[in-house]
Chain A
Amino acid sequence: DSGVTQTPKHLITATGQRVTLRCSPRSGDLSVYWYQQSLDQGLQFLIQYYNGEERAKGNILERFSAQQFPDLHSELNLSSLELGDSALYFCASSVGPTGEETQYFGPGTRLLVL
């Protein structure tokens, strides 16, 4: 158990819908990362937050957004869902914001868009 929790574990929805994925980082970690894992793209970085502020953006679509709340949990919002958004979404956390920090991954949320 990494100490990072993600809910829900599975999500099935329809095209055009909007969903929210939730992540609670390890106790004491200030940085949260979101990654998308799909068969064709592999593991892709979406967005990073550190202590409530956006730190870096990766290959995140405009239909997707995220935020980190004062209690440091984070939510990833996916809207106008398309079939291609079906993937495993991971949240990871680390103490600090930089690349030398070890990132601990949650179990992921598996999203299926029908």
Chain B
Amino acid sequence: AQSVTQPDIHITVSEGASLELRCNYSYGATPYLFWYVQSPGQGLQLLLKYFSGDTLVQGIKGFEAEFKRSQSSFNLRKPSVHWSDAAEYFCAVGARNYGGSQGNLIFGKGTKLSVKP
């Protein structure tokens, strides 16, 4: 079965420091991968996505993620964190049934990011 693991439940970084949030997936074929961010009391906002092609993808708010097939990973990075980045981050894989007609997302448990001033 398809699954997504985010090993870090909570991460604290200092403002201006670099950030890497880990995501590992379990999937038999090339997955569709997504990172979403959820601010307190808000819905989910798409940061970036990977479908195919260049394994380094750029997203909004200065985020990027790299798809590494050999490691089944899709880690999210940002070179310099801002206080406004404090939120919960979710990695997700696009599900696919045998017929290819299903489209729901399978989410990891999320990583809560706190930013120290």
Contacts and interface: CB of A to CB of B under 8 A. Distances in A.
Interface residues of A, number: 29
B49 A43 contact: no
Given A56-B103, A98-B103, A43 B43 contact: no
A90 B103 contact: no
Nearest to A56: B102
Interface in B42-81: 42-46, 49, 51
A29 B13 CA distance: 38
B43 A42 contact: no
B19 interface: no
Interface in A74-106: 90, 92, 94, 96-106
Interface of A: 2, 4, 31, 33, 35, 42-45, 48, 55-56, 58, 90, 92, 94, 96-108
